[in-house]
Structure 1
C-alpha cells in the first residue's frame, strides 16, 4: 500500500482527547470532583493505583499542546469539557474560573486556525450530582445535563460551532454500571439499561438546548461500534451473533435512528427494561447535524444455551505478540470493521453525515534520543483511514477523521500502562515528544488532495486532446 492515502481536500483531519484523561488540576480553580476522581482513589480500581490528578497537566500546558497541533497541521481538535469544572456540584452556581480555562483554550485554538469540536459529556459525572441523583441511572440527571449544556453553549456559542453531546453511551452504561470496571463501579443490570436510556434521553434534551442557544450550531452525539462475529456455523451461533450485535451496537444506534430498542433486546431482556415515558423516543430522535463514530476492533461470540438472554458467550481473545495484529490493549487489528460500520450507516440508517471521532492504537512506546519510532501505529492509522476513504468513495457521507489520541494519557482502568498518543508524554517531567505517527499524519495532511488534483489535470488534458482531434 502506498504511503500516500489520497485524502480529499474537503476531508477534515484532527485529533481527540477527553478532559479527565489529560487535564489534571483536579482541585484547582473551583473544580469539583467527578465520579472518576472518586473511583481512581478507591483501592484496587485502577492499574498500579494511577489517578488522573495530574496526568498530562494539559490544564497548565494547553498552549504547548495547541502549538503541537498547529505544527502537525491539524484541522480540528475534539476535546471535552469537564462538567464539574463548570458546575462543581453538577448544577447551581457556575464556576467562572472553569469557563475561563476553556475560554483560553478555545481562543488559542482559533488563533492557531484549529476548529474546536467540543464534547459535553465524556463519562465524568460530577460526584455531588451522582450522590444526589445516581448519575444517569437517575432520570433527573438528564435535565441537569441539559441545563449545563445550555450554559456552556450560551457562553461559547460565538466561537464553538461544532458540539458533541455525549460520548459512547454504551461504554459508560456497560463498564460503569454493569461490569463495574469504570466509574462509578456498579454491577447492576437494571442500572445498566436505565443509564443507557437516560444518556440517550440526555443527548436529546441537550440537542434541544443547543438549538435554543445557537441555531447555527452543528451538533450530534458520538456512538461506539464493535462488530460482533462468530466462527460457528450452528443456528445458535448465528443467533448469538445477532443478539450480541443488538446488545453492543443496536441498543445505541436504533433509538437514535429508528426510535426504538432492538426487538431482540426488548424481548430477551424484558426484566431489565428501563422505564420509558411517552415522548422519550421523540426527544432521543431530535434531529442531529452529524453522528460521531468511534471504532477500534471486533469481538467474537459463540452460541451457549446456558447464558440466558444472550444465548451466547464471548470468545476470549488469544492475542499474538505481534504489534501489527494486536495492540497493547489486546485488541485485534481489523480495519475492515470500518467498512462494515460505514456501509451499515449508509444502508441501514439512512446515510447521515458522520465523522470518525475516535480511532487509534495503544502500544508500549519508548522515547529514545528524542524520537519515538511507532511504526505499528503508523500502519494501523494507514489501513484504517484507507478503509474510511474507500467507504467515502462508495457514497458514505463521512466528512472527517479524528485520531485517538493527541497525547499519551490516563487510559481509564489501565492507568498509564498503555499509550495511545501521537505525542509521547513523559509523565514525570511532562515533556512532549512527537512520535513518528504524528509526523506521518502531518505528511498526509500536507499532501492532501495532491493526487486528486493530478487526476483532475489529467482528465482535463485528455478532454483538451479530444477537442483538438475533433
Structure 2
C-alpha cells in the first residue's frame, strides 16, 4: 500500500495496494559503487581507462574508490535490511572475475560469494546482473563489442559466474541497457570506450544482443528449477510535438532506434524493418548479422527489466534527410526538443504518465511478458539540515508519482511484478562523475559515511505496507 501524505509528497487520499508477491528493492552497478579497482586481482575495465582520460568525466572523477562497497558491503547490506528491502539488484564486475576477460579469478568470485551470502543471511533476494558496461579492457584491446568473439567470451563468463553462484542466486539478468553500451560507448563517445562512429555503434549493439542470447542459452542449459533469466532495456517513450502525420513519423523514428531496435529481436521479431531502412545509409549492421544470430538473440526470457527515467519530446524537420540534433544512429528528419515542466537536476522531464503508457504498451507488444521496473529514480540536490538529516522532498514526490504510475499500469492489465529504485546509494554517475546524486542513501565521498535520506524512509514505509515477509 502506498500511503501518500503531504510529508512524503503524495496525496493523503491515495491508498494503493500492490500485488502480494511484488518484488521490491534497489539497484546499483559494480563500477559505480564497488571501488577496490586494483584489489583481489581485478583487471582494468574500459571505464577505468576511459575515466582516466582528461576531460572525459566531470571533475576528472573515476570509480577507483566510488562508494567502496568492495570493502563496505556488510554495512550496505545492513542498511538494506534496516530499510526492509526484499531484493538487491547488483552487477558483477567482469574484470574482477576474469581480469583479462577470459581467465577465472577465484578471488574475484569469492567476493561475490561473500556478498550473496551476506544478502541471504539478511533475507534479501540477490538479483544479479552480469554486465553493466564495464568490459575488461583486455577484450576491448581485441576489438571489444565490435568483435563477435566478445559474445562468446561473455557466454563463458556468464556460465562461470552461474556455476559459482547458482546455488545462491535465482534471478539472473544478462546485460543492462545495451542501448547505452553501444550507442553512447561506440556512437556518441560520451561513455567508455569512447568511440564515435555510427556504423560501429550498430555493430556493437548487435553483438551485445548476440551475447545476451548466447549467455541465456548457456545458462538455461545448466539452470536449476526456479531460476529466472532476463535482460534490462532502457526505454524512453517518444512524445510528438503535434498530431500530424509528420509528427507521428518523427516519433516513430526515435522510438524505432531507441526502443524497438533492442526489444523486437529479443522477442523473436527480428530487427524492425522500418528501423533497418532508417539506418541503411550508415551501413555496418546487416553485414554483421550472420545465419542463426536472430534465433540466438530470441532465446526466451522469463521477464523483461524495464529501466525508465523520462520520455523524449520530438519534432519533425522540413527536410526528411536533414541530420537530427540527437546523436543516435540513423536519426534524420527530426529533432529532439528540450524537456518541459518539472525537471530533475539532470534536466530530465518528470512525466510519470509516460511510465504507465510504456508498461501498458510493453504488455501488449510483448504478448504479456512479465515486467519488472529494474531502474527508476531521479537525481536531485539534497538538503542537509542543522540536525544532519538529509531532506529530498523532490525525490519523494518523484518516487510517489512513479509508483502510482506503475500501479495504474497494473490496474490496466500490465503484468508488472516488481520495482527496484535507482539507486540504493549516491554513486559514480558515469560521465557526470560525482556531481549527480540518485541515491536514497547519501554517501559522503570523502569519508564514505552513509546516511538515510527522507526518501529512504518513505520507501521503507511503502515496502513495509506491501512486502510479503520472507518465507511466507
In the superposition, the TM-score normalised over structure 2's length comes to 0.91
Which of 42, 46, 56 lines up with 2:53 in the alignment? Answer: 42
Give 1:314's aligned residue.
335
Gaps of 5+ in 1: 451-470
Question: How large is the Cα RMSD of the aligned pairs?
Answer: 1.5
Give 2:73's aligned residue.
62
Say whether 1:29 aligns with 2:40: yes
Which of 146, 170, 174 lines up with 2:179 in the alignment? Answer: 170
Deviation track 1:227-279 (CA, whole Å, cap 9, x = no partner) reads 11111344322211111110110101111114311111111211424211111
More off after superposition, 308-317 vs 249-258: 308-317
Which of 368, 374, 378 lines up with 1:361 in the alignment? Answer: 378
Shift of 1:366: 3.6
Shift of 1:346: 1.6
Say whether 1:424 aligns with 2:434: no
Say whether 1:284 aligns with 2:297: yes
Q: 1:207 touches 1:219 (CA, 8 Å); kept in 2?
A: yes
Give 1:244's aligned residue.
254
Q: 1:176 touches 1:185 (CA, 8 Å); kept in 2?
A: yes
Q: 1:328 touches 1:418 (CA, 8 Å); kept in 2?
A: yes
Distance 1:67 1:347 in 2: 39
Alignment of 1:220-299 (within 5 A): 220-270=230-280, 271-274=282-285, 275-299=288-312
Distance 1:215 1:285 in 2: 21
Distance 1:232 1:319 in 2: 15
Say whether 1:187 aligns with 2:204: no
Q: 2:357 touches 2:409 (CA, 8 Å); kept in 1?
A: no
More off after superposition, 15-24 vs 380-389: 380-389
Note closer, same or farther for the CA distance 1:273–1:341 as it changes in structure 2 (3 Å cut).
farther
Distance 1:273 1:352 in 2: 31
Give 2:132's aligned residue.
122
Distance 2:244 2:217 in 1: 46
SS at match of 2:152: helix
Q: 1:66 touches 1:108 (CA, 8 Å); kept in 2?
A: yes
SS at match of 1:78: strand
Deviation track 1:44-69 (CA, whole Å, cap 9, x = no partner) reads 00001111011100001000000000
Q: 1:229 touches 1:299 (CA, 8 Å); kept in 2?
A: yes
Deviation track 1:292-337 (CA, whole Å, cap 9, x = no partner) reads 10000011111122425533333342566xxxx1101100001111
Deviation track 1:382-425 (CA, whole Å, cap 9, x = no partner) reads 11011111111222111100000000000000000010001000
Larger Rg: 1
Gaps of 5+ in 2: 1-10, 324-329
Shift of 1:173: 0.8
More off after superposition, 272-281 vs 155-164: 272-281
More off after superposition, 56-65 vs 382-391: 382-391
Distance 1:238 1:107 in 2: 50
